[in-house]
């Protein structure tokens, strides 16, 4: 007899839930999870490997629990006067967000976000026994300062997620929305800047708002612009008191010595690691322009992906692209698909495949 979840003494509040579900398929062109598809430059990879090799020799010992060197490296990368004691890191920004929820949400508490937004927020929220409250966006998925403040005041959540720019829509979030949500709330306000490096050069980061706002947190990741998704490294900046709160919930030594060595070495080469960003932006804008020419409805994007509407049957289009070796993402918005910007060649393959489907 096959055992199912129903046969297990599972928590009642997890019954009926679905796990994070981006399909994993070994297709030649994978543009479905917003990775940076450019490989790490060989000289940087060599330096990272050397640093990791040194760390391996010391793996008999637990790693630095405070990941001091890595926090210093993140503080200097972020600028804005951020000090190392304002920095936290974990195994992907997913774990950073989980630490925040463990400390500031939990049973009997609520967390709020403007839907549609990053699908892991609600899963992480339910995972700590909190209630997820979905707010709404405008017709083009935009969020305005007055409406956002009103929704947050009505919901009165313990934690607010602001995804800037938003996944899966790519929508930018202006700094006045962050300020007004902060004023309207009493809880922790998390600005998730996972894709910030793909925003225009003159875009303002929420890091600029940190001074004097002890409930504000700005989360980042090395998974996107840094092309380091496989290493699992995310980080945040906030008031040092927030960092103290996170120490209460993290597992001791949660960042392995191998991870710390790899991330610190990668940050030594941040200029080279980030060199692909400009090309990805070119490919993203080429995707938007070509989709429009094909009669689709792409949304403005400040990220490394494009959401587009005007897809009559998203699942059928997804399947036909799949048959042509191209993996994109069905994100559950009727009539829409999402595609990550790849290398120039990958992007061309995607656009040609889509055009051939459109013509068929
Ligand atoms: N935030 C957003 C908005 C994301 O899209 C993602 C990844 N898709 C993450 C956080 C998590 O990334 P990671 O755990 O790899 O840092």
Strands laid side by side in the 131-135 sheet: 87-90, 234-237, 216-221, 188-192, 159-163, 110-114, 131-135
* 31 & 94 share domain: no
- Euclidean distance between CA atoms 318 and 190, whole angstroms: 32
Closest ligand 1 atom number to CA of residue 94: 14
Asked which of 255, 270, 285 is the last residue of a domain, the reply is: 270
Residue 360 confidence (pLDDT) above 90: no
* 154 & 294 share domain: no
Residue 252 confidence (pLDDT) above 90: yes
31 Cα: distance to centroid of ligand 1 (angstroms): 15
CA of 341: how far to CAs of 35, 174, 190, in Å?
9, 23, 26
Rg of the chain, C-alpha, whole Å:
21
* 164 & 254 share domain: yes
Ligand 1, atom 6: closest residue by C-alpha: 194
Please, are residues 202 and 282 in contact by the beta-carbon 8 Å criterion? no
Give the pLDDT of residue 24. 81
172 Cα: distance to centroid of ligand 1 (angstroms): 16
pTM above 0.85, yes or no: yes
Give the CATH number for residue 317: 3.90.1150.10
* 83 & 225 share domain: yes
Closest ligand 1 atom number to CA of residue 167: 3
Give the CATH number for residue 245: 3.40.640.10
pLDDT tens-digit series, residues 331-356: 999 999 999 999 999 999 999 999 99
Ligand 1, atom 12: closest residue by C-alpha: 93
Instruction: Cite the beta strand spans of the chain per DSSP E.
Output: 29-30, 87-90, 110-114, 131-135, 159-163, 188-192, 216-221, 234-237, 297-298, 305-309, 326-327, 337-340
Instruction: Answer whether 229 contacts ligand 1 (Cβ < 6 A).
Output: yes
* 112 & 252 share domain: yes
pLDDT tens-digit series, residues 205-234: 999 999 999 999 999 999 999 999 999 999
Give the domain extent around 96: 42-270
- Euclidean distance between CA atoms 244 and 227, whole angstroms: 29
Closest ligand 1 atom number to CA of residue 168: 5
Residue 22 confidence (pLDDT) above 80: no
- Euclidean distance between CA atoms 325 and 346, whole angstroms: 10
232 Cα: distance to centroid of ligand 1 (angstroms): 10
Tokens of 177: 């929305």
Closest ligand 1 atom number to CA of residue 34: 8
* 347 & 220 share domain: no
Pairing of strands 216-221, 188-192: parallel
Select from 116, 161, 223 the residue to mutate for testing ligand 1; criterion: most ligand atoms less than 8 Å from CB. 223
Torsion sign across C-alpha atoms 183, 184, 189, 193? negative
Q: What is the mean pLDDT of the chain?
A: 96
Instruction: Answer whether 194 contacts ligand 1 (Cβ < 6 A).
Output: yes
Select from 194, 304, 341 the residue to mutate for testing ligand 1; criterion: most ligand atoms less than 8 Å from CB. 194
Tokens of 1: 């007899």
Instruction: Answer whether 163 contacts ligand 1 (Cβ < 6 A).
Output: yes
pLDDT tens-digit series, residues 119-148: 999 999 999 999 999 999 999 999 999 999
Better-predicted residue by pLDDT, 1 or 110: 110
Ligand 1, atom 1: closest residue by C-alpha: 194
Asked which of 270, 285, 316 is the last residue of a domain, the reply is: 270
- Euclidean distance between CA atoms 270 and 279, whole angstroms: 16
pLDDT tens-digit series, residues 45-59: 999 999 999 999 999
91 Cα: distance to centroid of ligand 1 (angstroms): 11
Please, are residues 101 and 131 in contact by the beta-carbon 8 Å criterion? no
In DSSP notation, 181-206 reads: HHHH-SSEEEEE-TTGGGS-TTPPPG
* 317 & 182 share domain: no
Query: Which of 26-30, 127-131, 167-171 has the weakest average pLDDT?
Result: 26-30
* 245 & 300 share domain: no
pLDDT band at 19 (very low <50, low <70, confident <90, very high): confident
* 18 & 31 share domain: yes
Q: Give the count of alpha carbons within 13 A of 24, CB side only.
A: 1
203 Cα: distance to centroid of ligand 1 (angstroms): 20
93 Cα: distance to centroid of ligand 1 (angstroms): 6
Asked which of 270, 303, 319 is the last residue of a domain, the reply is: 270
* 118 & 92 share domain: yes
Strands laid side by side in the 337-340 sheet: 297-298, 305-309, 337-340
- Residue 309 neighbours by CB distance under 10 Å: 16
- Number of structural domains found in the chain: 2
Q: Give the count of alpha carbons within 13 A of 274, CB side only.
A: 12
């Amino acid at each position: 007899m096959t055992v199912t979840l129903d046969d297990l003494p599972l928590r009642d509040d997890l019954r009926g839930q679905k796990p994070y579900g981006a399909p994993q398929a070994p297709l030649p062109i994978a543009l479905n999870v917003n990775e940076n598809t450019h490989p790490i430059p060989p000289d940087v990879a060599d330096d990272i490997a050397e640093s990791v090799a040194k760390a391996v020799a010391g793996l008999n010992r637990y790693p630095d629990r405070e990941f001091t060197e890595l926090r210093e490296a993140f503080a200097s990368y972020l600028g804005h006067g951020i000090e190392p004691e304002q920095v936290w890191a974990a195994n992907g920004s997913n774990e950073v967000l989980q630490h925040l929820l463990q400390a500031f949400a939990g049973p009997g508490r609520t967390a709020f976000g403007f839907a549609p937004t990053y699908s892991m927020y609600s899963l992480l929220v339910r995972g700590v026994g909190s209630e997820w409250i979905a707010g709404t966006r405008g017709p083009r998925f935009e969020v305005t300062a007055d409406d956002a403040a009103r929704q947050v005041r009505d919901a009165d959540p313990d934690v607010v997620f602001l995804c800037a720019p938003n996944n899966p829509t790519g929508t930018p979030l202006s700094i006045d929305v962050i300020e007004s949500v902060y004023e309207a709330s009493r809880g922790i306000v998390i600005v998730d800047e996972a894709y910030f490096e793909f925003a225009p050069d003159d875009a303002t980061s929420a890091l600029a708002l940190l001074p004097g706002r002890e409930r504000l947190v700005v989360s980042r990741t090395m998974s996107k612009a840094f092309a380091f998704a496989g290493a699992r490294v995310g980080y945040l900046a906030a008031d040092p008191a927030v960092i103290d709160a996170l120490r209460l919930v993290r597992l001791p030594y949660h960042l392995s010595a191998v991870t710390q060595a790899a991330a610190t070495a990668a940050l030594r080469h941040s200029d080279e690691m980030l060199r692909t960003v400009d090309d990805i932006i070119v490919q993203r804008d080429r995707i938007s322009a070509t989709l429009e020419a094909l009669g689709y409805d792409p949304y403005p994007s400040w990220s490394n992906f494009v959401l587009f509407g005007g897809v009559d049957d998203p699942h059928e289009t997804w399947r036909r692209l799949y048959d042509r070796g191209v993996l994109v993402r069905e994100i559950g918005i009727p009539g829409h698909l999402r595609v990550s910007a790849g290398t120039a060649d990958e992007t061309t393959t995607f656009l040609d495949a889509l055009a051939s489907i459109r013509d068929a």
